[in-house]
């Protein structure tokens, strides 16, 4: 299972290969984000498309990869140059590093559930769009 998740992560976030989404996720897979539950296939594709439209020179790293039973935990870091709109934030030309933790549930060799958490506050701070609160 760890190999499945590592290959998925590298193909999608390292190589920009959107076809891997349909290959590794079950069609009815579910994603859980803060305040949102929905179709994993659609949500991951939309998220990746938005990211690749906003960032270039992308590199990604698997920091930790742990498996227990039907779950795999991935701690990742991805860096890219912010060259296009990301949400409401116009291009900053800054190099931005995102990090997060994804928890996958795998059944029958496919991802059936995903919990995803990333440090958005740090990302927007790196973009320079947050007020200086400290």
What is the per-residue pLDDT for 134?
Answer: 64
Which pLDDT band, with edges at 50, 70 and 90, does 131 fall under? confident
Most distant CA atoms of the chain, gap in Å: 48
Tell me what pLDDT residue 132 has: 80
Joined tokens for residue 13: 């976030």
DSSP string, the chain: -HHHHHHHHIIIIIT--THHHHHHEEEEEEEEETTEEEEHHHHHHHHHHHHHHHEEEEEEEEEEEEEETTEEEEEEEEEEEE-S-BTTBPP---EEEEEEEEEEEEETTEEEEEEEEE-HHHHHHHTT-S----
pTM of the model: 0.92
**pLDDT per position as a tens digit, 34-74:** 778 999 999 999 999 999 999 999 999 999 999 999 999 99
Domains and CATH numbers, the chain: 2-126 (3.10.450.50)
Position 36 scores a pLDDT of 83
């Amino acid at each position: 299972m760890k190999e499945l998740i590592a290959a998925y992560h590298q193909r999608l976030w390292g190589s920009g290969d959107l076809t891997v989404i349909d290959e590794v996720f079950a069609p009815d897979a579910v994603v859980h984000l803060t305040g949102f539950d929905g179709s994993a296939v659609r949500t991951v594709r939309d998220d990746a498309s938005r990211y690749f439209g906003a960032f270039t020179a992308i590199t990604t790293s698997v920091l930790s990869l742990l498996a227990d039973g039907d779950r795999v935990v991935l701690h990742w870091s991805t860096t890219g140059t912010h060259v296009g709109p990301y949400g409401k934030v116009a291009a900053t030309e800054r190099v931005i590093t995102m990090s997060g933790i994804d928890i996958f549930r795998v059944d029958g060799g496919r991802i059936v559930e995903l919990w995803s958490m990333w440090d958005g506050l740090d990302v927007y701070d790196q973009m320079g769009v947050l007020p200086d609160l400290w």
